Amino acid sequence: MAKHILLVHPLGYTASAAVHDVARMTNIMPPIGLASLAAWLDQKGFETMIVDCYAKPDSKNRIRQIIQNQRPVLLGLSCTTSSFLDGVSMAEWAKSLLPSIKTVMGGPHVSALKAEALRGYPAVDFGVVGEGEETFAELAAGGWEQPESMQGLIWRDAEGNPQFTGRRKTLLELDSLPFPAYEKLDGYPSAYTLPIFNYPRAPNSSCVSSRGCPYACSYCDRSVFGATFRFNSADYMIAHVRHLKERFGVRHINFYDDQFTFNRQRVEKFARELIKLRLGITYNCAARAEHLDQELLRLMKASGCWMISLGIESGDPALLAQHRQRPDLDLLAERIRMIKRAGIRMKGLLMMGLPGETEASIQRSMDYVFTLPIDDINLAKFTPFPGAPLYTNIRELGTFDEDWPKLDCMHFQFIPNGMTREQLERLFTAFYKRHFMRPRVLAGYASMIWRSPDSWKRFWLSCGSFLRFASSNRRLGQDEGCSL
């Protein structure tokens, strides 16, 4: 009989809070890492089950039933820093139901802190550092009996102290992987949604066609894949897209890669094949300005590219030079205009509150962004994650309240020297207000009535939640200096 393995994506906070979390409701991405792990383990002869508490916050009874009825040998938990403590609570609860179950934690938080991540949390038996497929499969096959002989594993010695065996020496060839086990995600694809106004059609899904990033910016956590960057071939990508379309009816895909266009030849071949096959699929991707040109953008547009996200981070050249490799705001502006000329929607990814940030630098960012034809923005609150280079000396650069559940880019837990939380919250609100008041942006959202009708449908159905969210955050802003 095959061993049962339960894989869980923790929510990160209470289920009652999730009901009113507009940020969650407007962007629920499938846990692709867990789905990939499940497909790999199934291929090795195990029987996996996935419970995504983020998509289905009321999943506790289902987890209880699986543990009591299926009696899985392993519970795997994939956690970010903000969901880590929720994962620990899940491990403790699972052991109270089934003391023999082995609990395994993976994800960026564990990969960043390694043995230290498990210190003080005895309910977590093992941690997987880096790419998880091979390490987890070896563990599930009985490797827990001699854990010190495995690679990529955090284990506990006879005294219960966590020890790390070191990263795996070889990495997987990505084209050898089975497609993620999307079918194990309850309600897929309709239970998962991209952000409103970020897609033309539904159902839609996220997809990953690479691992890692070739750059090393100060704010980026690269602890899972390290300094490596690997990607699927164009042929694999086409087969993956066809799988999503033909099996699940997916009509739009968000490629959740750090650098989708880094290998130009791959993207060219992928785009040409999409044009040839006429699958009726549209897609989004993220890129860097250095890896875009007019010819490539025309080809991507013809193949169904609907939106490109570019990492701008800051419009202040001096601040950007402190944190990003090869910063060039003039090149960025040129490529943004080029994207728009190609007829592709443009989204700017920005960050507020980096070390060295001032009110003047934020104003320069606004002035820069609002002179460009940017359709949408995602303004994150800078968060020092344990795996980022900045984390090592972050307390010298400002005030850092390291409250893990709030390290989610939605809270100002780090305050740069010379600034206050109230300043940052006020400027954060002003940034978004200026964006949404721009006539070009308002016209763009109005055009979504026909370009993305499902987005408007979702907006109106959730209008009450949006208004309650705005009202709640206005009150928080008055009481605690926290508003959106």
Residue with tokens 């800078």: 382
Backbone angles phi, psi at 392, to 5 degrees: -60, -35
Amino acid at 29: M
Residues with pLDDT less than 50, the chain: 469-484
Q: Are 46 and 116 in contact (CB under 8 A)?
A: no
Q: Are 106 and 132 in contact (CB under 8 A)?
A: yes
Query: What Rg do the C-alpha atoms of the chain give, in angstroms?
Result: 22
- Predicted local confidence at residue 459, as pLDDT: 83
Helix (H, G, I), strand (E, B) or coil at 38: helix
Task: For residue 443, give both structure tokens.
Answer: 């016209």
CA-CA-CA-CA dihedral for 443, 445, 448, 451, to nearest 10: 70
- Predicted local confidence at residue 16, as pLDDT: 77
- The CA distances from residue 176 to 121, 231, 255, in Å, are 35, 11, 19
- Predicted local confidence at residue 465, as pLDDT: 55
Tens digit of pLDDT for each residue in 332-379? 999 999 999 999 999 999 999 999 999 999 999 999 999 999 999 999
Domains and CATH numbers, the chain: 4-164 (3.40.50.280), 194-446 (3.20.20.70)
Residue with tokens 């050249």: 317
Q: Are 250 and 283 in contact (CB under 8 A)?
A: no
Tens digit of pLDDT for each residue in 266-310? 999 999 999 999 999 999 999 999 999 999 999 999 999 999 999
- Predicted local confidence at residue 228, as pLDDT: 87
- Predicted local confidence at residue 473, as pLDDT: 43
What CA–CA distance (Å, rounded) separates 390 from 101? 37
Tens digit of pLDDT for each residue in 106-147? 999 999 999 999 999 999 999 999 999 999 999 999 988 899
Backbone angles phi, psi at 381, to 5 degrees: -85, 115
- Predicted local confidence at residue 468, as pLDDT: 53
Residue with tokens 């699958």: 279
Contacting residues for 1 by C-beta, under 8 A, at least 6 apart: none
